[in-house]
């Protein structure tokens, strides 16, 4: 890629969140890419790859520093990518960068994460993408992430991702001098388990917030969750090109057809 890449920036914490400001600062100050911002108007964490069908979607042009084109979408992160590609942009971005998220997206959290949802939506459209998250939600170490993001862009340019693949990158909650290094690794199994708590609604009666807490689970030594806790920046390549379980398809195809041929006759 000889030209300066065009990066679409988005997130799930909302267009006014500190993390997206930090991401823009890093990429703009490094002068390594042309930037466009399309992000949710408000926080849409936990929305995964969901899209908005039940109401119209409002699109608002936002003033951003240095005349960076920016829009706020009152929908999900996936909506942002969809509306951006069909209505707002006349050119296909080279990359989608989503974040910087306040809170880890390691382990099985990728299935719920709006940060990942935007990247997945882009990958399905042939746009390589990166999800960027800080381990701590309460005190995200954006400065640590900022230090390494330019190198991540250079790596992607030098080593393009294959079709259908995205990188899920998480930054540990440690000072820069205690970062042990970068590790490309496998996805962990941990997730945010439900932890409902009562919400008193005087008009409609008792209701509950879903709530959440880290699930206690034994992780493999080479999982992103384990390495993140040890002080490594983790990168997990995720494949969303083909969700077919090929081994099971091959193993079950014949007996599945045989079983239903007998039972449907």
Above pLDDT 70, what percent of the chain?
94
Instruction: With respect to residue 208, please indicate whether it lies within any of the assigned structural domains.
Output: no
Cis peptide before 187 (omega within 30 of 0): no
pLDDT of 192: 66
Instruction: With respect to residue 196, please indicate whether it lies within any of the assigned structural domains.
Output: no
Instruction: With respect to residue 198, please indicate whether it lies within any of the assigned structural domains.
Output: no
- Which pLDDT tens digit goes with each residue over 38-87? 999 999 998 999 999 999 999 999 999 999 999 999 999 999 999 999 99
Residue 106: which CATH number?
3.40.1210.10
Instruction: With respect to residue 193, please indicate whether it lies within any of the assigned structural domains.
Output: no
- Which pLDDT tens digit goes with each residue over 128-150? 999 999 999 999 999 999 999 99
Instruction: With respect to residue 232, please indicate whether it lies within any of the assigned structural domains.
Output: yes
Instruction: With respect to residue 209, please indicate whether it lies within any of the assigned structural domains.
Output: no
pLDDT band at residue 30 under the 50/70/90 scheme: low
What's the total number of domains in the chain?
1
pLDDT of 167: 97
For residue 248 the two structure tokens come to 């099971």
- Which pLDDT tens digit goes with each residue over 153-171? 999 999 999 999 999 999 9
Instruction: With respect to residue 14, please indicate whether it lies within any of the assigned structural domains.
Output: yes
Alpha-carbon gap, residue 105 to 114, rounded angstroms: 10
Instruction: With respect to residue 204, please indicate whether it lies within any of the assigned structural domains.
Output: no
SS3 letters across the chain: CCCCCEEEEECCCCCCCHHHHHHHHHHHHCCCCEEEEEEECCCCCCCCCCCCCCCCCCEEECCCHHHCCEEEECCCHHHHHHHHHHHHCCCCCCEEEEEEEECCCCHHHHHCCHHHHHHHHHHCCCCCEEEEEECCCCCCCHHHHHHHHHHHHHHHHHCCCCCCEEEEEEECCCCHHHCCEEEECECCCCCEEECCEEEEECCCEEEEECCEEECCCCCCCCEHHHHHHCCEEEEEEEECCCCCCHHHHHHHHHHHHHHHHHHCC
- CB 41, CB 17: distance < 8 Å: no
By residue range, what is the domain housing residue 149?
Answer: 6-188+218-263
């Amino acid at each position: 890629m000889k030209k300066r890449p065009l990066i679409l920036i988005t997130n799930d914490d909302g267009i006014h969140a500190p993390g997206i400001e930090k991401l823009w600062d890093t990429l703009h100050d490094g002068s390594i890419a042309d930037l466009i911002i399309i992000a949710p108007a408000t926080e849409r964490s936990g929305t995964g790859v969901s899209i908005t069908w039940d109401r119209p979607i409002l699109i608002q042009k936002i003033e951003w520093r240095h005349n960076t084109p920016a829009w706020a979408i009152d929908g999900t992160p996936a909506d942002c990518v969809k509306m951006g590609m069909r209505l707002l942009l006349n050119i296909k971005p080279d990359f989608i960068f989503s974040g910087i998220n306040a809170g880890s997206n390691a382990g099985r959290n990728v299935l719920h994460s709006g940060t990942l949802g935007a990247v997945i939506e882009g990958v399905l459209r042939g746009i390589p993408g990166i999800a960027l998250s800080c381990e701590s939600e309460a005190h995200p170490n954006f400065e640590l992430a900022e230090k390494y993001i330019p190198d991540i862009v250079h790596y992607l340019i030098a080593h393009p991702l294959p079709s259908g693949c995205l990188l899920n990158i998480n930054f540990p909650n440690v000072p820069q001098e205690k970062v042990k290094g970068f590790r490309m690794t496998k996805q962990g199994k941990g997730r945010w388990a439900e932890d409902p708590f009562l919400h008193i609604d005087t008009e409609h009666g008792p209701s509950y917030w879903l709530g959440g807490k880290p699930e206690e689970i034994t992780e493999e030594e080479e999982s992103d969750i384990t390495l993140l806790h040890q002080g490594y920046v983790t990168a997990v390549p995720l494949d969303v090109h083909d969700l077919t379980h090929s081994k099971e398809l091959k193993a079950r195809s014949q007996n599945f057809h045989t079983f239903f041929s007998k039972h449907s006759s």
